[in-house]
Structure 1
Amino acid sequence: MDKNFIIKDFKELYNLRWGIETNYNTLKNRLAIENYTGKRKITIEQDIYSKFLKYNIFQYYENYFNLLINRTKRQKGIKETYKVNQAHLIRKLKKYLPIMILNPTKEIIRKYTRKLIDSCTKSPNKNMKKPSTPRKPKKQRKFNMNYKPI
């Protein structure tokens, strides 16, 4: 281990890594990238490519909806920042994306994009800031919660 590293360097490295970790969490837990529909190599490759395509489309819509949400909030005089509910957006994409891909007409894409915008911008999540006061440490318990002395 290099002795020139200080705690501040590790904090900075961890903060740089945080975006990668959250993106991997979305791929693994929300898009189930590790679940395959078949056992052959070609089906596994198709699953991976389709899930990455879905993830890229999800990222595009997420960024676009975040801009829409925050623009409308600023126009209403609200200063806090908001972001789209990821789980809701993924649910709607799973429902509408196959229809949009299988029927790629302008009318169909506009119709389902409008549905996505309407449903995903209704109830955004507020971006939580770090608390200004640190948390108070909890008192250490004498016994485990499940332990009952006789």
Structure 2
Amino acid sequence: MHIENISGRKKVIIEQDFYAQILLFNMVEDLKNDANKQLEENKNKDLKYEYKVNMNILIGTFKEYIIKIAVEDDDLKRKQLYEYMLGEIMENLVPIRPGRTFPRTFYKGRNKARLNIRRNS
């Protein structure tokens, strides 16, 4: 979710991009909270590590299923799609390993956050 990547120069377009990113972030966080709640319910005490949701998988799965869920008219099928999406997310958990700290490398280029402006024709 790159909020610094905007698709235009006009104020209205920038605001639209901003609010769309906030909406998507809130939806992803709600899905993450649902997955973490389900993870806590199904917790097994015999595991070596604690586990958390893989955010890359969560965002990719969310992108794949959000349109299907939004277009579906039947509430039962919509709920089934949501449960299937949540199941795919729960299959890809990441262990929380204590003592893992690595320094991040930051990009030092000139055009890190350029405008994504393309001509329509």
TM-score by length of 2: 0.68
- How large is the RMSD of aligned CA atoms in angstroms? 2.2
**Structure 1 gap segments, 5+ residues each:** 1-30, 132-150
Match of 1:78 in 2: 47
Q: Deviations over 1:49-89 (max 9, x none)?
A: 11111111111111221221243232x74363211100010
Partner Cα separation in structure 1 for residue 62 and residue 35 of structure 2 = 13
Q: In terms of Rg, which structure is larger? A: 1
Residues 1-150 of structure 1: pairs in structure 2 closer than 5 A = 31-74=1-44, 77-78=46-47, 80-103=49-72, 105-130=74-99
Letter in structure 1 aligned against 2:38: L
**Structure 2 gap segments, 5+ residues each:** 101-121
Q: Structure 1 or 2: larger helix share?
A: 1
CA 1:71–1:78: 2 relative to 1, 3 Å: farther
93-102 vs 57-66, which moves further: 93-102
Aligned residues: 100
Identity over aligned residues, as a percent? 25
Q: Which structure carries more relative contact order (alpha carbon 8 Å, separation 6+)? A: 2
